[in-house]
Amino acid sequence: MLEEKVKSVLDSVRPSLQADGGDVEFVSVSEDGKVSVKLVGACGHCPMATMTLKNGIENYLKKEIPEVTAVVGV
């Protein structure tokens, strides 16, 4: 259930990333709420990737899904 929620929220974030030539791929979510994702395309090599991951994707996921505790890039 948590995995489906995360995927749905990531789908709503995806257009913003795609507009800049990048994307985000869901990898996994642990029982303790840690979400693993992979930034691809332009986002995968962008110097701002960490900021996008933490200040953008992580904050949005935590806001929309309180069970999410962290987001990490793989």
Q: What are 50's two structure tokens?
A: 């960490």
Count of structural domains within the chain: 1
Predicted local confidence at residue 48, as pLDDT:
86
In sequence order, the 6+-apart residues with CB closer than 8 A to the CB of 3 are 26, 29
Q: What is the pLDDT of residues 21-47, one digit of tens each?
A: 999 999 999 999 999 999 999 888 888
Which pLDDT belongs to residue 23?
94
pLDDT at 8: 96
Residues spanned by the domain of 69: 2-73
pTM here is 0.90
Of 65, 48, 74, 66, nearest in space to 12 by CA: 65
Strands 34-41 and 70-73: parallel
- Reply yes or no on whether the pLDDT at 50 is more than 90: no
Find, among 45, 36, 23, 26, the residue nearest to 71 by Cα.
36
Q: Which CATH number is 39's domain given?
A: 3.30.300.130
